[in-house]
Amino acid sequence: MYAEERRRQIASLTAVEGRVNVTELANRFDVTAETIRRDLAVLDREGVVHRVHGGAVASQTFQTTEFSLDARFRSAPTAKSAIARAALRYLPEPHGGLFLDAGSTIGTLADLIAEQPNASQWSIVTNSLPISLNLATRGLNEVQLLGGSVRAITQAVVGDTALRTLALMRADVAFIGTNALTLDHGLSTADAQEAAIKSAMVTNAHKVVVLCDSTKLGTDYLVSFAGIDDIDVVITDPSAPESFVTALREREVDVIIAED
């Protein structure tokens, strides 16, 4: 496991549990206590956690930092691949419609959708430039890219034109990515315009399936776009804290743990 990914998991675990211990983290990640102390020092400088004697406690700050799409694809690739494969079971019946929002895990899912027999049977609407080009060039005929402004960092289409189009649409399933997921703030992201598109997809879909690797659980970004009660399924990986998974299930969310 790369240091960056380990630190993201530590941040998520701290947010969920409220407090973490150096010794327990060293055992969990099979590294030395000194390595964990360095990780906590980095996270403390970034404002993600607060160092305390013997460990760290959660920061209450809403995050605003965004990473490029390439950087997101490099983060937790194994988990994202397993999550995307698990999401295939939620594809609608033939000739059904689906929303795909912009994001690295959703992009991984789009690759798998293109490989399915008779993939052109589904009507797909997306606000992702890479996803639309990938699907269209692989022979899928029913792919609609929303119109509007393009955000360079995520290569996502946003704005009033896209929102007006989505208001007229309905889908059987929305596959949604997120920067963060907490019980109080729900699904959140850094940018208000992207949040608006995600929210519209959630509102206009019969079933909402969230693809969310464990590094995002318990973290909070500035703009919430859906509450826990708005989603039907969360697909995550085995590193998800058990207490968080239990809490989601108690809120009647179907949680799927995607094995590698």
For residue 20, the cross-strand partners are 56
Predicted pLDDT of residue 78:
86
Query: Coil, strand or helix: which one is 16?
Result: helix
Q: Which of the four CATH numbers 1.10.150.50, 1.20.910.10, 1.10.10.10, 3.10.620.30 does domain 3-58 have?
A: 1.10.10.10
Predicted pLDDT of residue 10:
85
Predicted pLDDT of residue 190:
87
CA atoms of 61 and 70, how far apart (whole Å): 25
Single-letter residue type at 256 = I
pLDDT < 70 stretches in the chain: 1, 60-75
Predicted pLDDT of residue 249:
96
CATH number of 69-257: 3.40.50.1360
Residue 111 backbone phi and psi in degrees, to 5: -60, -45
Predicted pLDDT of residue 256:
97
**CA 149 to the chain's CA centroid:** 22
**HSE value, Cβ hemisphere, 13 Å, CA-based, for 125:** 25
Whole-structure pTM value = 0.79
Predicted pLDDT of residue 73:
55
User: Which residues, at least 6 apart from 32, have a Cβ–Cβ distance to it below 8 Å?
Assistant: 26
- The domain locations on the chain are 3-58, 69-257
